[in-house]
Structure 1
Amino acid sequence: MDHPFVKGLPCFIHIKASETPQLAWLRSLVTVLANESRQPSPGSTVIVDRLTEVLFIQLMRTYMENSSNSEGYIIALADLQIGSALNLIHSETKAHWSVEQLGDAVSLSRTAFTEKLSRMVGMPPKTYLINWRMQKAKTQLEHTDTAMIDIAQGAGYSSEAAFSKAFKHYYDQPPGQVRRNSNPH
């Protein structure tokens, strides 16, 4: 996946028990995870999935709190303004946010917002919006039967033709081909 979150993940996160006594409960969580993985019983898969999510969230929290890095997607999520903007972007159901509107929503001028998000995430807000909308559109094409015009409008395009041209430029294949390749019926 080409998402900045995945790209920004560190190779490993080491939490030293001696430096984080408030996280002693993680040892118990890892023990339960190991037991559920080794001795599956009814519901083990659900337990392992949920506990893994809890472990991952705690690892990300610790990483964000202790990172000396002031840039990167994960750090951007922890930033009050940029994190809020990213949440707004990722929760939109139809493409309605503009760079100016996002800046206003997080109390930054368009210029200040553009500079801060670009520095933290590694790309300008407009590019980030397009990337996110195209990834969402591709996922919808691959996993739903949503009408092409609805996907196009959700990605911010007023016509299927404009969407198809932009999608092909972005992914080097037309949206119809992506849909056919993922649903070989």
Structure 2
Amino acid sequence: MAAMADIELVQGDLTEQEVDAIVNAANSSLLGGGGVDGAIHRKGGPEILAECRKLRAGHYGRGLPTGQAVATTAGRLLARWVVHTVGPVWSDTEDRSDLLADCHRNSLAVAADLGARSIAFPAISTGVYRWPMADAARIAVTTVRASESFDVVRFVLFDRAAHDTFAAAVREIR
């Protein structure tokens, strides 16, 4: 039986991570946007957008469904690949937790299929999609904890509050 991945927490910039794959909290168009998505496209360069356009011209003509994942080059980033996933929008009337878990699970599967051994995630859906940070951390850590395909799973958190919230989830979910 393989060992579970080490979970690392970093407060910083996802686009600066030296890992095999970084996960992009993309919008369904795959054509860039704000937040993490915009930063990855800006720093990674036009190669990422070119591959996203090819995906849209092919199998993902209507966009990438929520919870699914697909990979492109990482362009000028330090990583080898970008795994794009579309997080769910928070709802207080509908439980979408499975979709958020799917984002992590499917991103791990896509990256593993590419041969990645290290992967870095942002706090998916916690920005403009308004997912409560503590709940997102619990779902993310629980989902990636089960992975045996990676040496390192890193969460790159934008600020101290997010980092502390994920640290609490890691301690709680041992």
Give the TM-score normalised by structure 2.
Answer: 0.27
Q: Give the structure with the larger helix fraction.
A: 1
Q: Give the structure with the larger strand fraction.
A: 2
User: Which structure has the larger Rg over C-alpha atoms?
Assistant: 1
